[in-house]
A = this chain, B = another copy of it.
Amino acid sequence: MSELVENGITLLREKGLRVTEQRKAILEVLASADSPMSAEEAFAQLPSESCDLVTAYRCLEQFEKINVVQRGVRENGTKVYCIGHGHDHHHHLTCRNCGRTERIDLCMGEELEETAKSFGFVEIAHVMEVFGTCPSCV
């Protein structure tokens, strides 16, 4: 079991959430993925019938609340999740044709936080996704 999964499980325990087979399976899928995936995509990768699609949605929602996963949005509005958030905040560059994804470490989180706070806003979060057409799809 990958370290990412173990960290996730630990966090679940710490937050008083239960560790079920379904949750472990979903964490495994996220851990082995190399790009953010939607609830449906994660579900599709699960060992046959590990759990219901609805459960996948519910688990991802919980995971996000306790920061086990980070949530993003695709160009079309679909929500996507990737494991390992925490101190590893980053973004993605996605090919709008084939879906190929590259990690981007650029982030202006601090500046945004500062600006938002100057407006009196708190609990700042941001979503950023970069899209383009990759070399193989041009």
User: Residue-by-residue, is A109-138 near B (CB-CB < 8 Å gives 1, otherwise 0)?
Assistant: 001100110011111111111111111001
Q: Is the CB–CB distance between A93 and B122 below 8 Å?
A: no
A79-B77, A93-B116, A130-B112 given as contacts; is B138 within 8 A of A122 (CB)?
A: yes
A137 to B130: give the CA distance in the assembly, Å: 31
Chain A contact-residue range equals: 20 to 34
**Min CB distance, A95 to chain B, in Å?**
7
Q: B128, A132: Cβ atoms under 8 Å? A: no
**Identical subunits present:** 2
Q: Judge whether A53 is part of the interface by a CB distance below 8 angstroms.
A: no
Chain B residues whose CB sits within 8 angstroms of the CB of A73 once the complex forms: 73, 75, 77, 127, 129
A116–B128 CA distance with the chains assembled, in angstroms = 14
- Which residues of B lie under 8 Å from residue A128 when comparing CB positions? 126-129
Contact A119 B93 (CB under 8 A): yes
Complex Cα–Cα for A130 and B132 (A): 21
A26 CA to B135 CA, complexed, in Å? 37
A2 contacts partner chain B, Cβ-Cβ < 8 Å:
no
Which residue in chain B gives the minimum CB-CB distance to A105?
B115
The CA-CA distance from A95 to B124 in the complex, in Å, is 9
A18 to chain B, nearest CB (A): 26
Q: Is A1 close to B, CB under 8 A?
A: no
User: Which 4 A-B pairs rank lowest in CB-CB distance, beginning with the nearest?
Assistant: A121-B132, A120-B135, A77-B77, A128-B128
